Amino acid sequence: MSSKSPVTVLDSLNLGLHQAMRDDPRVILLGEDVLDPYGGAFKVTRGLSSQFPKRVLTTPISEAGITGIAGGMALRGMRPVVEIMFGDFTTLIADQVINHLSKFQAMYHDRVRVPVVIRTPMGGRRGYGPTHSQSLEKFFLGVPGLTILAPFHIKGFETLGTPGKLLYDAIAALDFPVFFVENKTQYLLKLMSTNDLQEYEVSQIETAGAPAFPFYKLALRSAPKAQITLAAYGYMAHLALKAALRLAYEDEIFCEVLVPTQLSPFELAPLFDSVNQTTCLLTIEEGTLTLGWGAEVLARTTEVLGPSLKVARRLAATGAVVPAAPDQEADCLPGIEDIIVRVREMA
Amino acid sequence: MDKLTPIKIPLLNTNEPDALLVSLECKEGAPVKQGQVLAVVETTKSTGDILADKTGYLVGLRYMEGETLPAGEVLAYIGETPDAQDPAMPPWSGKDTLQLEEVNQPNGLRITTPARELAIASGLDLSSLPHGPLITQQMIEKRLSGQIPPQPQPIPAGEKRILIYGAGGHGRSLAAMIRKLGNFEILGFLDDGYPSGDQVFGLPILGGSEKLPELAQDGVRLAVNGIGGISDLQVRLSVHDLLYQASFFCPTIIHPTAFLEESASLENAIQVFPFAYIGTEVTVNFGCIINTGVIISHNCELAPFVNLSPGATLAGGVTVGEKTLIGMRATINLNVHIGKAARIGNGATVKANVPDRGVVPAGSIWPPRR
């Protein structure tokens, strides 16, 4: 594993894992096929089993088992990181996460901690078919005691890059269960450096809560004030930025893009500030529409802003069972064109 | 045109359209020999060397180490000289120009498609537009419309004769500035209040406004507005009208000690006095006066005919509506918006937006405490 600066989100996450394991001997990694030379199905764990042979455990195909064991390890003072190979398989760990890991601290009257990080890639656009392409994080949003994070592909000022730093903090700084939502297509995204962000004015806004995971706000540089707020996380933030550029240059519709890194618990103050100015909100997610992330964001925004919010809509996956054929798969997942069409309707 | 031989990125692995540029073995402009290793690329399955096909110089390098190279694209060229270039191609870049598929950016200009189409359809010269701010259709319309008087006739090349309308204090300061700049020949003042033929500040009074047509006939095209307009803005504005009607053009005058950031954009007929500072990505519109020692921080926007008195200080992101006067050493806080035709008194501190026609008394704090 080279010690060069990370180029992609994948590099950044890999570096973050290396750093976390280097800094704390209590960090253990469990997952299926994570050993070198394969280094994990998406290579996020590459190099770790060679560097830390006793602390990287390859497991049978038993997601519930892996998660349960991680919970037990955590109770006994370790800091396990679990890789669930595909986000679709998180259905198998739901009981462990919802009824066990996220409740132990409260049920045992604050005498235990459960510092488990569960990382998994959600998302489609690879032709992997119905049960390997979904974005299921929406089912875990709002589970009490569970923190859900999603990285953004910006380099920032971190040597690890912000995705790696986010993962590092999740492992090292949080003593409660974390669901770390990665995305298969996002892995390959190049981390945006200052040069790549020339078209934008980027601000990093700290949210409430300790520790706080930042919101990023990106507006077109030296352009008229934004008329609409686009809210998106993970890979969809990348599509939102591309759409925002085209909308500005082709239609002179100016958007500002708000990207949270903490999905749950919901801390949306920066988003409310933006929508207060623009009065117009579009949430964009790869999960399905009904009772998804966007639904909760709209509900909260309406509660806080009331009639100041003039137009609010959600863009999400259509709800079809995700096909394996690439063109049909693209039809059911939101793309740049879909975002542009929707914003034009709203503006 | 120099002959350039492209160096194509090889397809190392039929399943992978991209390769990682692991290392570049020579720099832009370096001499290369045929067969020399220029770069090392890597896919998930193998590494490979990119060799020079011929001897020459490596030019037009398009990628940096660590970047992903698409197979079949050009990595660089071998030219016959170290600075060989193909004039038909955009400038070799990397850091300076950002090539985005989403946006069409002619020569580093940031311009929306509707704006570009309107500009081209109206014959507006794209190179006259500022670099930095995003040019919108509305901005092009403003340029084209009567809101800002366009240049009615072209100025003959080499025409340096200039008039100063108004021989008062402001006009004389302008005379001093123009003398310091040395790029115009001051014919004299026009002023309805002085007898023709008098000498003021070493320059002749040529007459009043009635003299404009004959001077224009004579081929004089350039003028500056020497009316400060503090007590009566209308007088200053009417001079602009007069000059426009008579086909005169007001160039922007900037004192050599004033500092303007490259990314600031200024319209015509602006006057920038000594030691003024105009910050990054600031827009100053037609006919503004930026007096001595004014500080305009980044991203401010001044509408036409704004007058900033000596020492006025604007924090970043301040927008000022047209015809507003800001007093001496007044301070305006970050991102405040001041409306049109407002008057901010000397030494005032403005911490919140001021409405159109608002008046902030000298020395006071805005908003007023209850």
Q: What is the pLDDT of residue B98?
A: 46
Same domain, B369 and B287: yes
Same domain, B295 and B324: yes
From B212, B245, B278, the end of a domain falls on B245
With cut-offs at 50, 70 and 90, classify the pLDDT of residue B20. Answer: confident
Same domain, B315 and B208: no
Rounded to whole angstroms, the Cα distance separating A96 from A104 reads 11
Q: Is residue B94 part of a domain?
A: no
Rounded to whole angstroms, the Cα distance separating A223 from A186 reads 28
Q: What is the mean pLDDT of residues B313-339?
A: 95
Question: The tokens of B167 are what?
Answer: 């021989």
Q: What is the mean pLDDT of residues A21-33?
A: 97
From B196, B214, B245, the end of a domain falls on B245
CB-based contact (8 Å) between B96 and chain A?
Answer: no
* pLDDT surpasses 70 at B102: no
Q: What is the mean pLDDT of residues A319-329?
A: 92
Query: Which residues of chain A neighbour B299 with C-beta distances below 8 Å?
Result: 222
* pLDDT surpasses 80 at B325: yes
Contact A246 B102 (CB under 8 A): yes
With cut-offs at 50, 70 and 90, classify the pLDDT of residue B92. Answer: very low
Same domain, B323 and B358: yes
Percentage, residues of chain A above pLDDT 70: 99
Q: Which CA distances in Å does A22 have to A18, A25, A51, A172?
A: 6, 7, 9, 11
Q: How many CB atoms lie within 10 A of CB B368?
A: 8
Q: What is the pLDDT of residues A312-322, one digit of tens each?
A: 999 999 999 99
Select from A199, A223, A250 the Cβ nearest to the Cβ of B113. A250
CB B255 within 8 A of CB B294: no
Q: What is the mean pLDDT of residues B34-51?
A: 83
Domain boundaries, chain A: 9-188, 200-346
**ipTM for the complex?**
0.78
With cut-offs at 50, 70 and 90, classify the pLDDT of residue B85. Answer: low
With cut-offs at 50, 70 and 90, classify the pLDDT of residue B94. Answer: very low
Least confident range from A154-163, B140-149, B196-205, B324-333: namely B140-149
Q: What is the pLDDT of residue B71?
A: 82
Q: What is the CATH number of the domain that holds B73?
A: 2.40.50.100
Question: Residue A172, Cα to own-chain centre: how many angstroms?
Answer: 18
Q: At A317, give phi and psi (nearest 5°).
A: -65, 150
Same domain, B264 and B226: no
Q: What is the pLDDT of residue B149?
A: 47
In DSSP terms, which residues pair with B49 in a beta bridge?
B40
Q: What is the mean pLDDT of residues B218-236?
A: 89
Contact A252 B299 (CB under 8 A): no
Q: What is the pLDDT of residues A178-220, one digit of tens each?
A: 999 999 999 999 999 888 888 898 999 988 776 779 999 999 9
* pLDDT surpasses 60 at B147: no
Same domain, B240 and B260: no
Q: How many CB atoms lie within 10 A of CB B107?
A: 11
Rounded to whole angstroms, the Cα distance separating B250 from B228 reads 15
Instruction: Judge if pTM exceeds 0.95.
Output: no
Same domain, B266 and B362: yes
Q: What is the pLDDT of residue B266?
A: 93
Rounded to whole angstroms, the Cα distance separating B166 from A57 reads 86
With cut-offs at 50, 70 and 90, classify the pLDDT of residue B153. Answer: low
Q: What is the pLDDT of residue B19?
A: 81
CA distance A7 to chain B (A): 7
Q: What is the pLDDT of residues A91-112, one digit of tens each?
A: 999 999 999 999 999 999 999 9
Range of the domain at B58: 5-79
Give the residue on A whose Cα is nearest the Cα of B111.
A249
Same domain, B66 and B129: no
Same domain, B256 and B367: yes
Residue type, B70: P
> In this structure, which topology does domain A200-346 adopt according to CATH?
Rossmann fold (3.40.50)
Q: Is residue B155 part of a domain?
A: no
Q: Is residue B156 part of a domain?
A: no
Rounded to whole angstroms, the Cα distance separating B157 from B315 reads 39
Number of domains in chain B: 4
DSSP class of residue B33? -
DSSP class of residue B89? S
- A257 contacts: CB under 8 Å, gap ≥ 6: A217, A218, A219, A229, A230, A231, A232, A237, A240, A241, A244
DSSP per position, A280-323: EEEEEEEEESTTSHHHHHHHHHHHHHGGG--EEEEEEE-SSPPP
CB A97 within 8 A of CB A63: no
A9-188 shares its CATH topology with A200-346: yes
Q: Is residue B95 part of a domain?
A: no
Same domain, B256 and B203: no
Q: How many CB atoms lie within 10 A of CB B17?
A: 14
Q: Is residue B217 part of a domain?
A: yes
Q: What is the pLDDT of residue B230?
A: 86
Average pLDDT along chain A:
94
DSSP per position, B139-187: HHHHHHSTTS----SPPPTT--EEEEE--SHHHHHHHHHHHHH-SSEEE
Q: What is the pLDDT of residue B15?
A: 65
* pLDDT surpasses 50 at B93: no
Same domain, B131 and B198: no
Contact A222 B110 (CB under 8 A): yes
Rounded to whole angstroms, the Cα distance separating A82 from A30 reads 5
Query: Which residues of chain B neighbour A5 with C-beta distances below 8 Å?
Result: 66
Q: Is residue B113 part of a domain?
A: yes
Q: What is the pLDDT of residue B96?
A: 39
Q: What is the mean pLDDT of residues A279-292?
A: 97
Q: What is the pLDDT of residue B95?
A: 38
Q: At B238, give phi and psi (nearest 5°).
A: -70, -30
From B185, B218, B245, the end of a domain falls on B245
Q: What is the largest CA-CA distance in chain A?
A: 58
Q: What is the pLDDT of residues B156-206, one digit of tens each?
A: 778 889 999 999 999 999 999 999 998 899 999 999 888 888 899 999 999
Architecture category of domain A9-188 in CATH: 3-Layer(aba) Sandwich (3.40)
Average pLDDT along chain B:
85
Q: What is the pLDDT of residue B344?
A: 96
* pLDDT surpasses 50 at B309: yes
Give the residue on A whose Cα is nearest the Cα of B21.
A7
Strands B18-24 and A79-83: unpaired
Same domain, B202 and B296: no
At A338 the three-state DSSP class reads: helix
With cut-offs at 50, 70 and 90, classify the pLDDT of residue A243. Answer: very high
